[in-house]
Amino acid sequence: MTPRSSTETTTTSLTGLLSSLLVLAGVFFFINSACSKGSDVCRPGTRAPEGAAIAIVSPLEGAIITGSADAMLVPVPVALSANGVRVRESAHCEEGTGHFVIVADFDCGPLHSWSQFHPLLDGTREITLQLAPGKYTLTARFHNSDLQPIQGLVATTHIRVVSSDTAAGAAGSPACP
């Protein structure tokens, strides 16, 4: 094998560099054309239409939901409403449409807290959460088909879930004193 001259090495390096630049230019062209306004790629907005709002219809703020004495989890029906936007399955890519996401935040101080995330991707407005006794903040958000939250479309309510043996006192529960 004969050693290459510096001219051959430079030519080989330039050829490799040009090949890489052509590949990058092709990728850039593909991405740019996919993102152009005339493409079929869906890019729903993340800003709420003027006057749009969502609400947690039930449970109401401060509600106490009581389960049976022996239940580890209590069914908590949640109903939602939307005005100024259409509730659809997450697969529909259309401006002004989306789906709900419910977050149930359990909070008993810094050492006893967690969240449950419940996306309603099928376009429903109701869900029954299974929650252990305790204090919760329920937050509803409205998301577009890209699963991004729509700014300004948030609703919150605070509830307490208790078992029937602690319902009389309602000040505490086994999970959250």
Tell me which DSSP letter residue 110 carries: T
CA distance 92 to 83: 18
Residue 30 has pLDDT above 80, yes or no: no
Mean pLDDT, range 70-79, rounded to an integer: 90
Q: Mean of the pLDDT values across residues 76-101?
A: 88
pLDDT level of residue 147 (50, 70, 90 thresholds): confident
**Single pTM value for the model:** 0.67
Q: Which of 47, 51, 34, 60 lies closest to 98, judged by CA?
A: 47
Q: Which residue did the predictor score with more confidence, 113 or 128?
A: 128
Q: How confident is the model at residue 129 (pLDDT cuts 50, 70, 90)?
A: very high
CA-CA-CA-CA torsion sign (106, 107, 112, 117): positive
